[in-house]
Structure 1
Amino acid sequence: MKTKGYFFNPTQPEMKSHCHLYREHQPEKTSAREVSLFYQFKIDRSSPGTLPIIPDGCIDLLFCFNPSNTFAVIGTSPQHRCSYTFKNDSEYFGVRLLPEQSSFKFKCSTKELIQQQQIPLSDVLHIDHSLLEELENRSTFQERVTYFNSYLKSNLPEVDYERNLITYCLNKIYSTEGQLNIKELACETGYSDRYIRKKFEDYIGFSPKQFSQIVKLQHSVHKLLNHNLDLNDIIEEHGFYDTSHFYKGFKKYMEVTPEQYRYLFNHSFANIDQATISTISQNTKT
């Protein structure tokens, strides 16, 4: 079962804009099917220590380097936009794993993992304890990326037929930017809707429908913030029936409308009260 590979590159726009000294690096080819992104940032001592996170369908490995306490956690994809807590006066090195990754075998299903925001790495993953120490000993972001890539190469995953099925389905979803339903996947693969849904929940944590909606959301957010497109263009490109359908889907995951989110992002979320937020959509339509 083969299909052309499509690279999914979800983003966390508010993480980029809210933290200090944010850096990121796209993976090299050897880790391209395992890792979506390497990134690093700092949380200042005076910072509130919270960052808004949006659904991305991925699991992140977060390594926290703090003068008094160095540790590692799993950061999961939220089911809707919310704030995650980070430790003050710390540097974080992050590895955003692709949903189809197979290098890291968790002790429970991904569906169970995503019920929590952050979980100690050792609680859910069999991993070499020296990894955290080795990353801490690297003084630069690029050195950490290089080391983690070498770690991946030395721990190549075994062939997993069920994982191959998931990867095939994910590539189909990626290639349509989330505009594919489970019946089409069942027809193409020869497996039942129920079987595919079960495997998605075990491996991805979300149903095919939910994950497709997250992929569609990620593409919509990217175009909303980076291309300054008219909302009607986004609606047409991503197969929404109408404005109401787009708004309903967007607000389900983001808890604000597209206009509100673009306004909040462009104004750095500074001193904006709820009354202001509630009037943004009305003002943009007049």
Structure 2
Amino acid sequence: MMYTSSVSHLQMMPIQFGFQLETKFYVEGKVTWKSNQPVLYYEFYSSAQTDHIHVVPDGCVDVLFSCDGSGQWAEICGSVLMPRILTFQTSMRYFGVRFLPGHGIGAIPLKDWVEQRVGLREILPASSEWIELISSAAHFEERVHLFDKLLLPHLLGEPLPELVDYCLEQITGSRGCIAIHDLSQYTGYSTRYVRKKFEETVGFSPKLFAQIVRFQHALHMIMRDELDLLDIVHEQGYYDHSHFVNNFKKFSHLSPQQLRTELSQLRLARGMELF
């Protein structure tokens, strides 16, 4: 059966709310690289009071730089599959680059990055000078420019197999509301074959990836305070409110209401819109 991939993997940029809520001076900005796929640049400051930051599954691979002090470093961080708490050095500025779901780093298969944190110098020995330039840059916009110019061309991943690329498009395009049976019908391959090829490339099943995509869309709605929780249940195709809460907590340390409450308190404390 013939199938084509026509929409961007990016229906929305995955969120790491711990970076936004538990750090200071968080900023972000999107740029576009040569293949016309957006990548997210962001920056935050780990205060003296915060060295533990929550991270949640997003299907992405990030490159993270330390920007203050001596011995600047950079590491590649693959997606986690369950909520975790990562330790960061206090009183440190960090600069990050988030590659979209389905995009790896260099020639290393995407599946090999899942739940991994590896020094960038180990993957790209020639990057030492570039890491120092990016980490020592005067401001966020300069770091974005330097990464785009110096490192990005060396980090673009290998093209995905057509079948896997198509499945990623369908899952993200449906906001995670698609079954592997549907992917099988659309592609003409058995569900077992689709699952096998997807896992071999991405590192986890299409069902789990769909759950992460759906969680991330619900997270966006909560962070932007767009809808009440029952509307999100309907919008994202959950069976009922209980199903929504259980799935949200599977990928987060908070229930949807707990996160919404924290956001409200933080907005009041800062006296401004957060996002």
Q: TM-score, normalised by structure 2?
A: 0.84
235, 248, 251: which one aligns with 2:249: 251
Deviation readout 1:6-32 (Å, 9 max, x if unpaired): 424111123112212211111125364
Say whether residues 1:16 and 2:20 are aligned partners. yes
Aligned residues of 1:39 and 1:95 also touching (Cα < 8 A): yes
Moved more, 203-212 or 24-33: 24-33
1:4 maps to 2:7: yes
Q: Distance in 2 between matches of 1:199 and 1:148?
A: 32
> SS of the residue aligned with 2:126?
coil
Does 1:114 pair with 2:109? Answer: no
Cα RMSD, aligned residues only: 2.5
Q: Deviations over 1:29-62 (max 9, x none)?
A: 53642x5310111223x23311111211111100
Gaps of 5+ in 2: 267-275
What is the deviation of 1:223? 0.8
What letter is aligned with 1:207? Answer: S
Q: Alpha-carbon deviation of 1:156?
A: 8.3
Q: Distance in 1 between matches of 2:157 and 2:237?
A: 37
Deviation at 1:102?
5.0
Find the counterpart in structure 2 of residue 170 from structure 1.
168
Aligned to 2:140: 141
Question: Which SS does the other structure have where 2:74 is aligned?
Answer: strand
Deviations 1:195-238 (A, max 9, x none): 33233334333211111111100111111231342221111111
CA distance, structure 1, for counterparts of residue 158 and residue 251 of structure 2 = 34
What percent identity do the matched residue pairs reach? 34
Tell me the amino acid that sits aligned with residue 235 of structure 1.
V
The residue type equivalent to 2:209 in the other structure is: F
SS of 1:209's equivalent in the other structure is helix
- CA gap of 1:138–1:19, structure 2 versus 1, over 3 A, is same
Counterpart selection for 1:95 from 94, 97, 104: 97
Distance in 2, Cα, partners of 1:159 & 1:36 = 16
One-letter code aligned to 2:25: L
* Compared CA separation, residues 121 and 191, structure 1 to 2 (3 A): farther
- The one-letter code sitting in structure 2 at the alignment partner of 1:56 is D
Q: Which runs of 5+ in 1 are unaligned?
A: 269-286
Kept in 1, the 8 Å contact 2:22–2:50? The answer is no
Aligned residues: 261
Matches within 5 A, 1:1-286: 1-7=4-10, 8-28=12-32, 30=34, 32-33=36-37, 35-44=38-47, 46-101=48-103, 104-106=106-108, 109-116=109-116, 118-123=117-122, 125-126=123-124, 128-129=126-127, 130-151=129-150, 154-155=153-154, 160=159, 162=161, 164-268=162-266
